[in-house]
Each structure stands twice: as structure tokens, then as C-alpha cells.
Chain A
């Protein structure tokens, strides 16, 4: 397991060197999107319309933060459960997105899309919202403000800690980890 410090947007080369279990500290820009925003992004792609942010090399963070306290860029901001985005993620990867940050397992279609298009699924520590929120240096709502916590935000992050769950080789850290520690009766 290696440790990397990467800056977004990510290149295909950046992503193809990563293996499940690697720890990555991300800096640069992340875009936030949850269920409702994903649906809208995929609808725009299907209609051939322009997206609210450049998809190429992007890393999408599945998060709905708490409101910021006065003077802070953002409140607590840990990952939400990712399977709810499974039906949308392959389309985004196909159109140039390189990374997703969430928590919890993904379906086979997402894992296959990571292999085929060169994408990676990162896990951040769920419930570590205070710690992760502090790595976010600025936040700006760039689309769908009516969705409240589910609006699309552009986040600038520094050394945002994530772990590679699904890499471009079909590996899955959740499966690997569990197999190692499962006690069969």
C-alpha cells in the first residue's frame, strides 16, 4: 500500500497507478453532488447540454455538508453512502470524470466503468465530518442552489485524506479487507 499526494484534475496516468488500499491526499478542486444533482448531470449529458463544471479529470465528492458557521467556508463535510449514485456514476466516468469520493460498496457496473474508462473510487471516513470539513479551504455553490445541502459546490481542498477502494484493475478494498479478517464458522 502506497501513499500519494495528488492534485486535481486527475489524469488517466494518475489514476491508473493507484491500487486498492493506497492512501491518497488530494489537493485542488472537488465538486460535490448527491442523488438529485447526479440525476440532473446525467440528464444534461443525455440531452447533449453543457454541464455546470468541466467533467474532464474531475473528482466528485458525495457530500451534503452542514451549514457553515459565520466565518467558515463550510460546516462538517464527510461522505454519504455511495450506492445511491451507482446508476449515474458510469455515465460520468465515460464522459471524463476520474474520481469519486464516498463511503460504502459500489455495484459491478461502477467497478467495470472504473476499469474501462480509467476511474477510481475513493473512500473517505464516514462520520469524520468535522475533521474532513477542516481540509476544505473554500466552498462555492455553482449549481442548483434550490437543492440546499444537495446543491453542487466547488470545493478547494488541501491534503484531503482518502483511501482507494476500487481501482482500475477491478480490485475492491472492502472485499479484500473482509476476506482477510472473516472468521468462517
Chain B
């Protein structure tokens, strides 16, 4: 059994949070640069130009890209032959999150869902983190992280379609969600689509789909084709960067699909703003 020190996990998570807040990942920058070239609207082009300039300032001056530094969301794959010593893995991730948000001068956005009181003094600074664990073979801990902002989360939706709705039903539902969202989720967006599984599995898949690098191809040819088809449809909506009208509403559509019940076709759409702050490490 391989042993990993609690503090090593804490430090790795902390560094990931601070880095991600100020450094727009290369895949996202590249996708925005391509969108700038292809966009037909001058107004939207100007917005994308500001976003690229913002990314440059954030990186050079170590300022958060966006004031909404998000809730911290993790997908963690834990090998069955590795163990954290000196505390639990969950506590280490939460501690690293808290230190990252404090030391990086990031905003604590977590609040009580009823009183709306900020939980920074009661529970911890921007805690608890949202953590999805999975058990896998091996002796490694793989941590995927994203800072998830509220604006794009607010327009996300899930629905269980009848199986007869088929692919067209999925395409129509995604279009409806993005059309209703308009400029609110800060386009150009990435659209995460979770299909199949159960109600919650579809939702979690749609979130995880957003952790994939923007612009990478889906290895499944059927899903790849569906992604391209939905992307084309979404970009016909004309919403454009920040909703000001344009041809680049979405940078990419990412799909994750699962087997599901014979009676159901669950679909979840999780929207990611243009500031797709994600990172992935292996310990």
C-alpha cells in the first residue's frame, strides 16, 4: 500500500486552486482565439478581445480572471492501493481548498442555502468543496478540479425524456436550455451534456464533461458526431459573446453517455462560462 502524506495533498490542491484562478488554461485561450477569428459580429469580437486581454492581465499580474472564483468542484479517482496518512483524503482536499482561496485572495462564495449567510466563518472559507469520489485500480490519486461560477450554473437543467424522444429530443432540449439562457451564462460557453444513467448520473456526467479540454475530440465517433451537430445548432441561435449577438455562442459541446433504464432517457445540460478554469493532477 503506497502512502501519501496529508500535507502533500493539501499543498497540491492549494496550488491548483491558486493557479487556476489566475491562469486561463491553454485549451480555453486557444478556443477563444479561434472564436475571435471566426466571429462575424464586430461587437462580439470586441468582447472576445477583452476576454483575451483579461486573461493576459490575470496571468501577468496574478489577479483572478473573474470575481466569481466559484465553488471548488473535484472529481477524484482513488487507487485501491494508495492511502493518505495523517488525515483523510476528503479533509485534505477541503483544507487545500480553504488555504487556496484564502492565500490566493479569492472570493468565498459558499453560503447557507436558506439564510444565505456566507459560511466562511462557520464552516470554512469557501467550504465545503464539492467532491465526487471514484475507486479505481492502482496506487495513484488523480484529482480533476474546476472552479464553477454561479452565472452559468444557474441556467443549467436536467430532464428525463421518454426514450422515443431519441437524439432529436436531446438536441431540442439542449437548444432550449441555451436559448433560454441567452447572455446570462457568459458566452462563448462550453456545453456539458450528460446522457443516460439515472437522474443524478446524467447530471454528474454533464458536469464531468466540462472537465475535458476544450477543443479535444470525443473518442466515441457517435458522440463526436452528436457534439458537432449540437454545436452547429447552438451557434445558429445568434446569442454571441455576452449575449450581444454573434455566431460564436458556444466554443464546444462535450458529451458523456451512460447506459440507462429501458423506460428512461435522462439528459442533463451543464453550462460552463467562457472562463473555463480547470486543471488536473496525479499524485
Contact = CB atoms under 8 A, between A and B. Distances in A.
B184 A103 contact: yes
A65 B41 contact: no
A67 B149 CA distance: 16
Contacts of A173: 244-245
A65 B67 contact: yes
Contacts of A80: 67-68, 150-151
Interface stretch (B7-15, B89-97, B196-204, B231-239): B231-239
Interface string A123-144: 1011111110110000000000
Contacts of B106: 66-67
Nearest to A133: B63
A69 to B, nearest CB: 5
Contacts of A180: 41, 238, 245
Given A123-B244, A126-B242, A177-B244, A67 B105 contact: yes
B118 interface: yes
A153 interface: no
B238 A134 contact: no
A85 to B, nearest CB: 13
B240 A125 contact: no
Contact of A177 (B65, B105, B246): B246
B186 A103 contact: yes
Of the candidates A69, A83, A131, the one having the most CB atoms from chain B within 10 angstroms of its own CB is A131
Contact of B240 (A36, A78, A133, A177): A177
Interface residues of B, number: 52
A104 B107 contact: no
Contacts of B240: 177-178, 181
Given A125-B242, A181-B247, A105 B182 contact: yes
A177 B41 contact: yes
Nearest to B48: A125
Given A65-B67, A133-B63, A182 B186 contact: no
Given A65-B67, A131-B50, A185-B236, A104 B151 contact: yes
Interface of B: 22, 40-41, 43-44, 47, 50-51, 53-54, 57-58, 61-69, 105-109, 116, 118, 120, 149-151, 154, 182-184, 186, 233, 236-240, 242-247, 273-275
- Give 8 nearest A-B pairs by CB, closest first: A177-B245, A182-B238, A181-B238, A104-B184, A183-B236, A130-B63, A130-B58, A126-B186
